[in-house]
Structure 1
């Protein structure tokens, strides 16, 4: 199973160094779930849906980093007024791009489509020999 260690705190957020090995997707989802439950101990239906979206999108971008990015090495989570912000850094500078138009019948290739549909905003930035993919999800109330 993938492991992670918490790095120095990021403002109101959390930052984790990842080993990038097998289990890294589940580990990032668990770390994100823990942070969301700490930040939102009592949730209404709208918050629960948004938290589910965050967990799904974490799974998608970490999976993409693992499959296409070479090595996911950092997860950063932060919160602001009404918004959760997530970023995953990996060792590939290749820009995320869809593999053709979205087709619901495909067994894979839905990650960027889901980012477009479920996040308030998303993007990526090159740094050194790698990149960071980030997204933000609005939290109601």
Structure 2
């Protein structure tokens, strides 16, 4: 690739790439998860976005990572792992914790009150989200489509 050539699609192996960050017992898990995610998004050429839409989607991903990790801190004893699964079409974010309690949005949602907005933000910004039990708790996941 020459100096003046700009790559238009991320260079990912067939099937995409997975990056994992252990978060058990770490200080500042939200900041660590955001920094880790920012580095991955930069490597995958989601950041900086070439268009306003691409930049907005990447910034939404960073907010979504923060929300999932914060929820694990507040409601599940802390996160154990962050996994990012990227393909050319989408990004899947997974946050695991040791609690078997499945997440649910606070209802009724009261936008004027502090707190209780995390899963409402996730519902609004992610294409789809959910949770699945695991051997040692659960994994909360979401997916975001890559901006073109």
Band the TM-score falls in, shorter-chain normalisation: 0.7 to 0.9
Q: 1:137 to 1:60 in 2, by over 3 A?
A: same
- How far off is 1:11 after superposition? 5.2
Q: Report the counterpart of residue 92 of structure 2 in structure 1.
A: 85
* Partner of residue 120 from structure 2, selected from 113, 118, 128: 113
- How far off is 1:81 after superposition? 2.5
Per-residue CA deviations over 1:9-55 (Å, capped at 9, x if unaligned) read: x9512011113443100100110001001111552211110011100
Residues of 1 paired with 2:131 and 2:104: CA distance? 11
Q: Report the counterpart of residue 5 of structure 1 in structure 2.
A: none
Residues of 2 paired with 1:119 and 1:42: CA distance? 20
Q: Answer yes or no: is the 8 Å Cα contact 2:85–2:93 preserved in 1.
A: yes
Residues of 2 paired with 1:106 and 1:136: CA distance? 27
The ranges of structure 1 where at least 4 consecutive aligned residues each deviate by more than 2 angstroms after the TM superposition are 19-22
Q: 1:69 to 1:76 in 2, by over 3 A?
A: same
Count of aligned pairs: 132
